Amino acid sequence: MNSLRSRLIEWLPAAIIIILLIVAWEVLVEVLDVQRWLLPPPSVIFVEILDSLGFLLRHTWVSTTEIALGFSISIVLAVLLASGIIWSRTVERTLYPVIITSQTIPIITLAPLLIIWVGTDIMSKVIVIVLFTFFPIVISLVSGLRSVDQEMVDMLRTLGASPWQTFRKLMIPSALPSFFAGLKVAAVVSVIGAVIGEWFGSSEGLGWLMKIAGGQFQTARVFAAIVMLSILAMTLFAAVVVVEKWSLRKYPPTATRVIRLGD
């Protein structure tokens, strides 16, 4: 109970700021007499969410399915690539430059090509999400695996540990905080990937809904879709945090301790 109360107190300033911003938005729109099709107040957006909740949830489920598939593929792909880079210098020299170079290409320019190559089904959206999300996971995991103390590695070798045992017992636990840091970034970015994929070739999903509603000047519906996307991103981020805490529960708390220089 005390832990829950302390956490609520920690998040209280953020909640107050959000409420103040919403109130300021509502008041300024009314005072400045901004037309609602141009910038609807939060009250209108809230009413739109209530009136179209079933419609929004249906498209949210489509986007959630795409994100879940793309995010899962990214995790598997990133773990394989990072492990290969750590285990083999040849793999590192071959794939690492390709991974870096892939991020110099604006992914948004590849989305129309994917529609041509793959089609407008779910796979094209999944590929876009993978292209957005696998890079931060790979980079963070490689950095975490390389951050292992060399003295610890030498000690395990002295004790007769095999390379696989060193990798499993030492390197993986040491890399988990970095790995989850990459997952948190990828969790948020995956929503952007889903929206971009749906913009270019889809007939459902929140990205498609925003595109259609914007063209019809249904601004309140566009903001309602944005709210749903924000909730989806925060939920995915929170899920990663929960899995992180569960995965690191057996390791020393110093591995995930938050260091503050101020209060």
Q: Report the CATH number that the domain containing residue 75 is assigned in CATH.
A: 1.10.3720.10
Give the end-to-end CA distance of the chain in Å, rounded to a whole number. Answer: 24
**Is 168 in contact with 123 (CB distance < 8 Å)?**
no
Considering the domain architecture, whether residues 234 and 135 belong to the same structural domain is answered as: yes
- Helix (H) / strand (E) element for 109: namely helix 107-118
Residue 257 or 208, more confident:
208
Q: What is the pLDDT of residue 252?
A: 59
Least confident of 2-6, 15-19, 43-47, 178-182: 2-6
Q: Residues 90, 10: one domain?
A: no
pLDDT tens per residue, range 142-158 = 888 888 777 777 777 77
> In the structure, what pLDDT confidence band is assigned to residue 4 with cuts at 50, 70 and 90?
low
Structure confidence at residue 47 (pLDDT): 92
263 within some domain: no
Domain identity same for 154 and 106: yes
Q: Which of 86-100, 108-122, 243-257 has the lowest mean pLDDT?
A: 243-257
Residue type, 206: L
Shared domain for 29 and 42, answered yes or no, is no
Residue 26 lies in a domain: yes
Query: What is the spatial distance between Cα 63 and Cα 229, in angstroms, rounded to a whole number?
Result: 9
* Separation of alpha carbons 170 and 148, rounded Å: 8
Which residue is listed with tokens 């590695």? Answer: 153
122 and 26, same structural domain? no
Banded model confidence at residue 255, pLDDT cuts 50, 70, 90: very low
How would DSSP label each residue in 38-75?
Answer: TS--HHHHHHHHHHTHHHHHHHHHHHHHHHHHHHHHHH
Task: Tell me the mean pLDDT in the region 35-44.
Answer: 88
**Domain co-membership, 55 together with 182:** yes
Measured distance CA(64)–CA(70) in Å, rounded: 10
What is the Cα–Cα distance from 207 to 111, expressed in whole angstroms?
13
Do the beta carbons of residue 232 and residue 68 sit within 8 Å? no
* 1 and 108 share one domain: no
Q: Name every residue whose Cβ is closer than 8 Å to that of residue 79 and which is 6 or more positions away in sequence.
A: 137, 141
100 and 202 inside one domain: yes
- Cα 144 to Cα 142: distance, rounded to the nearest angstrom: 5
Which tokens hold the place of 173? 């636990």
pLDDT at 226: 94
Give the number of C-alpha atoms closer than 13 A to the C-alpha of residue 181, restricted to the C-beta side. Answer: 13
Query: pTM here?
Result: 0.84
Considering the domain architecture, whether residues 1 and 73 belong to the same structural domain is answered as no
- Whether residue 156 contacts residue 169, with contact meaning beta carbons closer than 8 Å, is answered with yes
Give the torsion sign (CA, 207, 211, 212, 217).
positive
